[in-house]
Structure 1
């Protein structure tokens, strides 16, 4: 989806429907011509002759994901898909709307900075702008930090638009060795490739793991390691080949958690009953399930359309990726009054978290209703940007969206794994199902508001369910302190 549009949406009252979500060597460098295709094989393997078959059909094999039976190809041939489907080993194939897979010549600063050496110890929330972080107080993160800021053994991936690897509040926790760009479906670890094109990824990254270093803000899990996995093109699209690459990367590099504050293009909802869309849906689903099977906890934003995602406008066969894949922790947004944010999607929500609400939930603690987090210095002239005056390059911005809510839960997941990870032979992870159960089981119950919600406005909706679980808040608001204490009492 377009990030330019997203940035405008996040700063305007009328939030629309957009949100902001391998280790094998690349087979061939992608060309700038033709269309990109997701090729879905029957079974979880790519045949050894895939490159030849794709070439004979008029295409080029760009990347092969043998663990999930998916390949990325490019072709200029109008008959490429129909020719491929003559091979009985291929279940389906789909163009990703003709967007050229191109690892453009990227210029920018490169860096070889070590990951900061913070201990697995309590963290202090006394940074310059900590007093402006109503969101952290609302989820009891500041109290949780008195017990732990997270473990250096925990690795979190932010699957987003990249991040500003120079930002002084992110550098102490940034894991350069595990950061990459997946744009085009091929990993590229040059820091210039995974630099942030829009600010969105830098903002989500700070909420997850900005360091407790005396400047700016403190993230939800300020001691864990953080890696960027860039999946957004410079124009702001999150295409299937990049999303697939990202989840396989996280699975095969031993990540503990990923944050996914996006939906995967080319469709707001992928309709499983459409043959071509089904190929994209199933390929992405395989990648996500593979990551879950390898111990990666996956957190995703619910979306900003004020939709009942259980009954989307396109029909019940249409789903959002990654948030509607089974096993993913889905996060809705609320504001400082702990009510659903006017834009937040609802139904099939695990928990709610602060995403901000600049229309209906302005309070003394949240005077503009939005969430403050890190932002690239190159975008310092954007609206609602502030600077820590003592530190060059330390810029921060207020934004709202379910994109801002999900990173809080990602950070809490990292704290939970830091506390309860069983250090087993499979990457030392706590299993994703257990992490999800702890987060859901320790959330603060939030009842439905009086119905209808926001009557007489374009955001009028109805909440279904009780305080234990309902369509607006899921199991309730995430609570970092209760989660790390594993306090499931009510």
Structure 2
């Protein structure tokens, strides 16, 4: 590598992947000519930005509510009531022996709802491709702080309560300030989780330069193989990988068109036909638990992607158009947020702690992660496959709805959203919406 003009960033020998840096535009070609190198690809222009849907239809967020359970803002947590979190906490609210890794844009570990559960020793910043300590202010995006709160916000009388408020949470920063997750950061994150005692990871993002990663292309195949190996390595160490299904209203089991990739540099996306030879990372990697989003009426959210082969469970992610209710007046999910970050729908606790309403499958996945953490807390350690099955068993089955309500929100191909399967397993909800009470019983 040195002879070819490169500098080593990280050597992940466990999975046969090396991350290097070079200013030589011909570096990848030189490396590929070396015996036993399968593929080499430049990643500097790669990354898929977070796409948490921002619907134009909205109503004002309620800023005050009498807390029927939990902390000062728990009255606004329709999502927790919907999956029976208050009842579950009467039995088990999580064990300090359980460690969750939130692979995201970082997290604000100074937030009063996260500080008590933050595990600094097992947290890291993987953005460069090599692990380094998380610094104060590491989540300038805010997305990671939001997902972390849904998983493990403390029951401390302040703000909100997470699904598993007594478990430990590690921040594994893979997304940069602009919300891009580059391949080297994703690989670093899963190797870190595998070697640092993490039992469940939340993955509310897409990796790779393209939303659909087509393995018949040499560059895309190289990244697919490296990321798949990293995820597989984590799974082999007992890590359950939970991933958001996506916000493109697309049937991932029958993809036809990709209109948003590559989305870095900005305005570089092209429309291309895709097939099942193309896959979304991490949700379509074997063994990953895929999560679709629901709203307060227990319908699939208008934006949520889905698929009979990819949707394993559903969880509250919010729906600001089809599922506005008295309990969810703006349809979105409230969770922790850095005080310094801009938020359109901000709520501030009387103590000054800051929270934000967002919607997306990014918000759904951490609910399922929290349920997985409760299962580990109540029933002890288990392998990643056994835990995935347990999460799918701790669900409330939901049948396919009347899909005519999704007519204004077609797939990118122009085809309508359709639901396949029965109540026991279908493309919209998998085995059903997660249920925290079932998880701890």
One fold, TM greater than 0.5?
Answer: yes
Instruction: Measure how far apart 1:82 and its partner are.
Output: 1.9
Tell me the residue number matched to 2:42. 95
Unmatched runs of 5 consecutive residues or more in structure 2: 48-67, 258-273
Instruction: Measure how far apart 1:225 and its partner are.
Output: 0.3
Alignment of 1:462-477 (within 5 A): 462-477=418-433
Tell me the residue number matched to 2:96. 152
Instruction: Measure how far apart 1:456 and its partner are.
Output: 4.7
Once residues 83 and 287 of structure 2 are traced to their aligned partners in structure 1, the CA distance between those partners, rounded to angstroms, is 23
Unmatched runs of 5 consecutive residues or more in structure 1: 1-53, 101-123, 422-428, 486-490
Relative contact order higher in (CA < 8 Å, ≥ 6 apart): 2
Tell me the residue number matched to 1:248. 191
Alpha-carbon contact 1:453-1:462 (below 8 Å) kept: no
Tell me the residue number matched to 2:83. 139
Tell me the residue number matched to 1:378. 340
Once residues 255 and 455 of structure 1 are traced to their aligned partners in structure 2, the CA distance between those partners, rounded to angstroms, is 41
Tell me the residue number matched to 1:60. 7
Q: Does 1:322 align with 2:266?
A: no
Alpha-carbon contact 2:119-2:169 (below 8 Å) kept: yes
Q: Does 1:290 align with 2:250?
A: no
Once residues 403 and 297 of structure 2 are traced to their aligned partners in structure 1, the CA distance between those partners, rounded to angstroms, is 17
Tell me the residue number matched to 1:425. none
Once residues 238 and 11 of structure 2 are traced to their aligned partners in structure 1, the CA distance between those partners, rounded to angstroms, is 22
Alpha-carbon contact 1:58-1:77 (below 8 Å) kept: yes
Tell me the residue number matched to 1:426. none
Alpha-carbon contact 2:409-2:417 (below 8 Å) kept: no
Instruction: Measure how far apart 1:453 and its partner are.
Output: 4.3
Alignment of 1:57-456 (within 5 A): 57-98=4-45, 125-192=69-136, 195-312=138-255, 313=257, 314-347=274-307, 348-379=310-341, 381-389=342-350, 391-392=351-352, 394-421=353-380, 429-456=381-408
- Judge which range, 88-97 or 137-146, deviates more: 88-97
Alpha-carbon contact 2:303-2:409 (below 8 Å) kept: no
Instruction: Measure how far apart 1:206 and its partner are.
Output: 0.3
Q: Deviations over 1:240-278 (max 9, x none)?
A: 100000000010001111100000132211111111100
Once residues 281 and 304 of structure 1 are traced to their aligned partners in structure 2, the CA distance between those partners, rounded to angstroms, is 21
Alpha-carbon contact 1:359-1:369 (below 8 Å) kept: yes
Alpha-carbon contact 2:291-2:313 (below 8 Å) kept: yes
Instruction: Measure how far apart 1:361 and its partner are.
Output: 0.2
Once residues 208 and 72 of structure 1 are traced to their aligned partners in structure 2, the CA distance between those partners, rounded to angstroms, is 31
Instruction: Measure how far apart 1:125 and its partner are.
Output: 4.1
Once residues 351 and 190 of structure 1 are traced to their aligned partners in structure 2, the CA distance between those partners, rounded to angstroms, is 31
Once residues 461 and 99 of structure 1 are traced to their aligned partners in structure 2, the CA distance between those partners, rounded to angstroms, is 29
Alpha-carbon contact 1:231-1:238 (below 8 Å) kept: yes
Once residues 391 and 46 of structure 2 are traced to their aligned partners in structure 1, the CA distance between those partners, rounded to angstroms, is 38
Once residues 228 and 471 of structure 1 are traced to their aligned partners in structure 2, the CA distance between those partners, rounded to angstroms, is 31
Change (3 A) 1:397 1:456: closer
Once residues 396 and 150 of structure 2 are traced to their aligned partners in structure 1, the CA distance between those partners, rounded to angstroms, is 20
Once residues 2 and 233 of structure 2 are traced to their aligned partners in structure 1, the CA distance between those partners, rounded to angstroms, is 28
Change (3 A) 1:212 1:456: closer
Q: Deviations over 1:315-361 (max 9, x none)?
A: 22111111111111110001000000000001020000000000110
Q: State the aligned residue count.
A: 398
Q: Deviation above 6 Å: which 4+ runs of structure 1? A: none
Q: Deviations over 1:49-80 (max 9, x none)?
A: xxxxx111121111100111000011222322
Alpha-carbon contact 1:305-1:345 (below 8 Å) kept: yes
Alpha-carbon contact 2:199-2:240 (below 8 Å) kept: yes
Alpha-carbon contact 1:125-1:218 (below 8 Å) kept: no
Tell me the residue number matched to 1:19. none
Once residues 125 and 405 of structure 1 are traced to their aligned partners in structure 2, the CA distance between those partners, rounded to angstroms, is 21
So what's the TM-score if we normalise by structure 1? 0.79
Once residues 476 and 160 of structure 1 are traced to their aligned partners in structure 2, the CA distance between those partners, rounded to angstroms, is 25
Tell me the residue number matched to 2:266. none
Alpha-carbon contact 1:270-1:281 (below 8 Å) kept: yes
Once residues 193 and 44 of structure 2 are traced to their aligned partners in structure 1, the CA distance between those partners, rounded to angstroms, is 26
Instruction: Measure how far apart 1:88 and its partner are.
Output: 2.2
Once residues 404 and 456 of structure 1 are traced to their aligned partners in structure 2, the CA distance between those partners, rounded to angstroms, is 23
Instruction: Measure how far apart 1:195 and its partner are.
Output: 1.4
